[in-house]
Amino acid sequence: MSMADTIPHRKLTHECAMKMLNAGIRKANDMGVPQCIHIVDDGGHLLAFIRMDGGKFLSTDSSLKKALTAASNRVPTGDVPPDVDVKLAIATEGKLVNLFGGLPIIVDECLVGAIGVGSGTGEQDLEVARAALAVVEGAKQW
Amino acid sequence: MSMADTIPHRKLTHECAMKMLNAGIRKANDMGVPQCIHIVDDGGHLLAFIRMDGGKFLSTDSSLKKALTAASNRVPTGDVPPDVDVKLAIATEGKLVNLFGGLPIIVDECLVGAIGVGSGTGEQDLEVARAALAVVEGAKQW
Amino acid sequence: MSMADTIPHRKLTHECAMKMLNAGIRKANDMGVPQCIHIVDDGGHLLAFIRMDGGKFLSTDSSLKKALTAASNRVPTGDVPPDVDVKLAIATEGKLVNLFGGLPIIVDECLVGAIGVGSGTGEQDLEVARAALAVVEGAKQW
Amino acid sequence: MSMADTIPHRKLTHECAMKMLNAGIRKANDMGVPQCIHIVDDGGHLLAFIRMDGGKFLSTDSSLKKALTAASNRVPTGDVPPDVDVKLAIATEGKLVNLFGGLPIIVDECLVGAIGVGSGTGEQDLEVARAALAVVEGAKQW
């Protein structure tokens, strides 16, 4: 194996993704706010998804964009400077969104994916995302 | 029948959708303002549509978006906070629109669809949407 | 409640959708074939999804199309006559697919959604879909 | 008015489009086959639509394409030579479809629109399209 040509990486398992969905659902149930929850890999490809009973169907779009944005930027969503956020949204054909509720999943300084939550207020979405991220062993918490 | 795996719901009939189109057309004729009228189901799928003689063809797009937005948010359209409306519009690929003229169709606390009207002013659009909603037995009026 | 304007229907719960994902994952693990599993509602909107470790990422597209096709046609996928299947695929912008692995979810003669599975052979995909459908109480089995 | 620069044309009214929807619904009810019915103008823009209770949602796509194809080709759909139909479908980004169920609406040798019907067999779709076209005064019948 060449150390020069490839570098170590990690991947989120589907078991972990299911565990995250379950944790997010529990938190959303506790809050009484149905949610859409997307989990993507480090390239933004969909790993897992759940739309809870009564979740807004248009939030399926926005929670995905939050996950994509968190995976790409590697920081929680919602803090893109307002002078560029709409420009970046348009330039990425709507994939970058500047709303709360997206968190990167970083384990041992390695980005393995992201979670995006939508259908509540930005604060509620973020709270559910945090609860889901909390069950990932060794993941950086925000 | 399993209560655990499925829950009761209701569907809007096509007869009711036709009745709504007719009521909307009558109102628009009374006002002298031709309209585009979309009726969607609870998932935002098109159930019925009419573009009246002289209706603006681009309003075919906006009246659909009003119906989608009302069905997803479950409240009349036009009151999304201005600090997030464009972000949400982009994140939903243009499906969420923050204009007057969309109303959810809620019967017995069950969302069964939504109506979106466009081609007049926002106030005219809303007036036609209300007239169409008024003919749905038991529907919540706004 | 108006019987004239709305008719009774049922919805699949997210708990049931999660149960189906878990059953599908178990079956796929037993078979040693990682899968992509989509569960949609009766209008074809995504309810739940999992891509298993090692699942083909392009199968994310095909398993979704299988679910859409099963939900729309209300029969298992793969038996569209060969003289029209490509025409229908094009006419539906790729949404109708004539491959094995999609099953409608019908409870008490009410279509509540569909499951689509992809990443194995058609026979393997169908076997996983059947295992997931088997856990839905009262659902028609195929 | 310049005879050289513009030529007389006719437009289908929305009242006629509603009359056609009603006639199509009646016929489909008689046959016991729920349908999706699109009526477009001479440029292929949507004038009117109904999806009947139990109509396949993917047929919303195919019935629209039948209406577009009939409006563009000005003959009933389904008779494009098999050696070019898929090529034309791809070249038109899926808008041209070679399936039965689309009829042009021609009054006094003037194309004013088209109807497309889908959700049954090709023969059933065509029968409903014919019943809807039959109520248009002076329209060429097929």
Shortest distance, CA C30 to any CA of chain D (angstroms): 34
Shortest distance, CA D66 to any CA of chain C (angstroms): 9
Provide CB contacts within 8 A for A142, sequence distance 6+. Answer: A76, A103, A130, A133
The pLDDT of residue C4 = 78
Cβ–Cβ under 8 Å, residues A59 and A97: no
The pLDDT of residue C98 = 96
The pLDDT of residue D136 = 98
Q: Is it the case that residue A3 has pLDDT exceeding 80?
A: no
Mean pLDDT of chain A: 96
Provide CB contacts within 8 A for B58, sequence distance 6+. Answer: none
* N-to-C CA span, chain D: 35
Q: Could D50 and B48 be called an inter-chain contact, meaning their C-beta atoms sit closer than 8 Å?
A: yes
Q: Does B44 touch chain A (CB under 8 A)?
A: yes
Q: Could A48 and C51 be called an inter-chain contact, meaning their C-beta atoms sit closer than 8 Å?
A: yes
The radius of gyration of chain C from alpha carbons, rounded to an integer in Å, stands at 15
If phi over 0 gives left and psi between -120 and 50 gives alpha, with beta otherwise, what is residue B77?
Answer: beta
Q: Could C25 and A14 be called an inter-chain contact, meaning their C-beta atoms sit closer than 8 Å?
A: yes
Q: Do chains C and B touch (3 or more CB pairs under 8 A)?
A: yes
ipTM of predicted assembly, 2 dp: 0.94
Chain A residues with CB-CB distance to C13 below 8 A = 53
Q: Is it the case that residue D2 has pLDDT exceeding 70?
A: no
In chain A, count H helices and then E strands.
Answer: 4, 4
Structure token digits, residue C62: 């095909």
Pick the residue from chain D with its C-alpha nearest to B43: D57
Q: Does B123 touch chain C (CB under 8 A)?
A: no
Half-sphere exposure of D79 (CA within 13 A, CB side): 8
DSSP per position, D27-87: HHHHHT---EEEEEETTS-EEEEEE-TT--TTHHHHHHHHHHHHHHHSS-SS-S-TTTHHH
Q: Report residue B1's pLDDT band, with 50, 70 and 90 as the boundaries.
A: very low
The mean pLDDT of D47-73, rounded to a whole number, is 97
Q: Could B91 and A85 be called an inter-chain contact, meaning their C-beta atoms sit closer than 8 Å?
A: no
Q: Does B46 touch chain A (CB under 8 A)?
A: no
Q: Report residue D4's pLDDT band, with 50, 70 and 90 as the boundaries.
A: confident
Q: Is it the case that residue D125 has pLDDT exceeding 50?
A: yes
Type of residue found at C25: I
The pLDDT of residue B4 = 78
Q: Does A52 touch chain B (CB under 8 A)?
A: no
Q: Does C35 touch chain D (CB under 8 A)?
A: no
| Residue for token pair 């040509």 | A5
Which backbone phi and psi does D103 adopt, to 5 degrees? -135, 135
Mean pLDDT of chain D: 96
DSSP per position, B45-88: -EEEEEE-TT--TTHHHHHHHHHHHHHHHSS-SS-S-TTTHHHH
Provide CB contacts within 8 A for A71, sequence distance 6+. Answer: A40, A41, A42, A43, A44, A104, A111, A113, A114
Provide CB contacts within 8 A for D131, sequence distance 6+. Answer: D23, D24, D26, D27
A/B interface, count of CB pairs below 8 Å: 46
